[in-house]
Homo-oligomer: A and B are copies of this chain.
Amino acid sequence: MSAATFDAIIYNFGLFAVFVFALTGAVCAAKKELDIFAFILAGVVTGIGGGTLRDVLLNIDQVFWIEDPAYLSICIFASVITYYAAHWVVHLDKFLLWLDAAGIALFAVLGTQKAMLFGAPPLVAVVMGVMTSTIGSVLRDIIMQQRLVIFDPEIYVTACLAGSTSYLALIYLEVEPLTATLIASSLAFALRGFALALDIRFPSYQ
């Protein structure tokens, strides 16, 4: 498989992951019985919030969804779908968790990659990766004024962290970026999937 084909796959999978994030955001608006603009706000914030904060902090010339508005379109599309088919989407809750797992696994790695590309030191790159995957849901919960899902003692941030640090390690071991992306994302997804399947949680402080 050529690098260009691989890039196209990653790009399309990225768009799909943003779509899934936006769905999980819009579902929150559905549960609160809000109007369509609230669906869109929740969908957009959840879909692109993490990547936006990453790009703003890295002071990148153009935030990714300004450069390529397809990300924004797909968030709005996901929100409108949810508005008109919320009963149907809400029933997908369990399935969405798995798609979300794939999304955070990918973005933890892509976020780390982008931060490294813009010269961020290793620790910062890891934090950026985790942030890309998780801040969208934090912003969603703040806007929706509900308990932060990220505070649930699940293997969620851990999975992102595994993806992000393993990608960094693989790059330092001079593994090819394409291969490193695949391995690190798979590791993050496996960890999150494992937790989902077995309902494993992290101990909280008492």
Contact = CB atoms under 8 A, between A and B. Distances in A.
Given A56-B57, A57-B66, A36 B123 contact: no
Given A151-B35, A204-B34, A205-B33, A120 B66 contact: yes
Nearest to A29: B205
A72 B123 contact: yes
Interface residues of A, number: 49
A97 interface: no
Given A59-B61, A59-B62, A205 B69 contact: no
Contacts of A92: none
B38 A150 contact: yes
A161 B56 CA distance: 25
A206 B204 CA distance: 36
A195 interface: no
Nearest to A44: B127
Contacts of A151: 32, 34-35, 38
Nearest to A60: B59
A203 B205 CA distance: 38
Most buried by B among A33, A127, A158: A127
Interface string A189-204: 0000000000000111
28 contacts: A29-B205, A33-B205, A33-B206, A34-B153, A35-B151, A35-B202, A35-B203, A35-B204, A37-B150, A37-B158, A38-B148, A38-B151, A56-B56, A56-B57, A58-B66, A59-B59, A59-B60, A59-B61, A65-B124, A66-B121, A66-B124, A69-B123, A72-B123, A72-B124, A138-B143, A142-B143, A143-B148, A145-B147
A124 B204 CA distance: 41
B36 A202 contact: yes
A17 interface: no
